[in-house]
Amino acid sequence: MKDVAEIAGVSVSTVSRVISGKFAVEEGTASRVRSAILQLDYRPNLLAWGLRSRSGKFIGLVIPGIHEPFATMIGLLEEYVTRGGYSLLFGNTESGPEKENIFIDDLISRHVDGIVFSGVSEKSLALPKLAGTDIPIVLFDRVFNARENVVTVALNNEAAGRLAARYLVGLGHRRVATITGPPDLNLCKDRLHGFKDEVSRLGAALDERDIEVGDFSFDAGLKASQALFARKSAVTAVWAQNDLMAIGLMRGLASLGKRVPRDVSIVGADDIPFARMTVPSLSTVRQPFEAMCRQAVSSLLGYDDLSRSANRHFAFDPELVRRESAQSP
């Protein structure tokens, strides 16, 4: 910038003003400055800019893995974040709390302007630490009650459970099973509660022994297929709390010689890109990730307004996607 000023024969302040465009500069000098910028291929130094303005101009993203649906989330968030003129700094905390800790410290040190947080477990060490700072946070898909002034973006999980139940029982299934995610996650409890309640409300049966506990992985679905169907079973339909487990279940059922959906109907949750690619394609309870990510980013960018408003919790309604993996028994 000093060089630019020299070439254009003006002071650095004038150069700064031309660049920002927020102040009046005579057209003649302005164009001299512009051509000097071009000539030198000058680029502003965001580090220096950030130092002065106390803003790194980026958004941090904390997620517990790169598998779906997180990969989709990363893509969506990146789009909205860059569109807002920020950059995405992302960290995978799958490997444990130490990594999470390091990453959060890094985000603070870099003066991020906001964080989208979706931790592995709900008892994360990071949130209390973040509470000490003034960094805007959005909790994605995880609902805590630790911090009062935190913004929350999540699926209406109970409704998701009810939707799956209504679909399956409506199809005519009388005896259903389910595979849950990690039980320490509130969202799993909510989904299970909605599912359970709606199933019994509609007069169908969900035996306690037909509730398998998984961890949202393909292998958990595989294992559940054994637990549920290795012996003869009266269950004709299963809801898995995410697509990956549903796909694992389908895969396991194929190995067991059971046909989907003829012998067993399956419904997943999320609607990851892969759901339409399987054979049979997977019916699922869709999470509107696009709207959710958009909301997360816009909450971050207009954070102050929100923190003063009462409405800081955004619950999105799930949507049923009918494909091939479920039918009437």
Contact with a copy of itself (CB under 8 A) among 12, 23, 99, 230: 99
Site for DNA contains 54 (CB under 7 A): yes
**Please, what is the minimum distance in Å from the beta carbon of residue 328 to a copy of itself?**
21
SS3 track for the chain: CHHHHHHHCCCHHHHHHHHHCCCCCCHHHHHHHHHHHHHHCCCCCHHHHHHHHCCCCEEEEEECCCCCCHHHHHHHHHHHHHHCCCEEEEEECCCCHHHHHHHHHHHHHCCCCEEEECCCCCCCCHHHHHHCCCCCEEEECCCCCCCCCCEEEEECHHHHHHHHHHHHHHHCCCEEEEEECCCCCHHHHHHHHHHHHHHHHCCCECCHHHEEECCCCHHHHHHHHHHHHCCCCCCCEEEECCHHHHHHHHHHHHHCCCCCCCCCEEEEEECCHHHHCCCCCCEEEECCHHHHHHHHHHHHHCHHHHHHCCCCEEEECCEEECCCCCCCC
* CA atoms of 275 and 249, how far apart (whole Å): 13
Site for DNA contains 35 (CB under 7 A): no
Contact with DNA (CB under 7 A) among 20, 35, 149, 200: 20
Contact with a copy of itself (CB under 8 A) among 8, 15, 64, 78: 78
Contact with DNA (CB under 7 A) among 13, 35, 200, 328: 13
Site for DNA contains 55 (CB under 7 A): no
Task: Show the binding pattern over residues 211-250: x = contacts a copy of itself (CB under 8 A), - = does not.
Answer: -------x----------------------------xx-x
Between 29 and 82, CB nearer to a copy of itself:
82
Select from a copy of itself, DNA, none the partner in contact with residue 165, using the beta carbon and a kind-dependent cut-off of 5 to 8 Å: none
- Return the residues of window 138-177 that contact a copy of itself according to CB under 8 A: none
Site for DNA contains 14 (CB under 7 A): yes
Neighbours of 260 (CB within 10 A): 23
Site for DNA contains 232 (CB under 7 A): no
Site for a copy of itself contains 95 (CB under 8 A): yes
Site for DNA contains 7 (CB under 7 A): no
* CA atoms of 140 and 122, how far apart (whole Å): 11
Between 26 and 304, CB nearer to DNA:
26
- Return the residues of window 258-287 that contact a copy of itself according to CB under 8 A: 273-274, 277-279, 281
List of residues 6+ apart from 218 with CB closer than 8 A? 244, 245, 247, 248, 251
* CA atoms of 119 and 139, how far apart (whole Å): 9
Select from DNA, a copy of itself, none the partner in contact with residue 24, using the beta carbon and a kind-dependent cut-off of 5 to 8 Å: DNA
Between 28 and 203, CB nearer to DNA:
28
Select from DNA, a copy of itself, none the partner in contact with residue 29, using the beta carbon and a kind-dependent cut-off of 5 to 8 Å: DNA
In sequence order, what are the beta bridge partners of 239?
178, 267
Contact with DNA (CB under 7 A) among 31, 35, 39, 48: 48
Site residues (vs DNA, CB under 7 A): 1-2, 9-14, 16-17, 19-20, 22-26, 28-30, 42-45, 48-49, 51-54
Site residues (vs a copy of itself, CB under 8 A): 41, 43-48, 50-51, 56, 58, 65-68, 71-72, 74-75, 78-79, 82, 87-92, 95, 99, 102-103, 105-106, 108-111, 132, 218, 247-248, 250-251, 254, 273-274, 277-279, 281
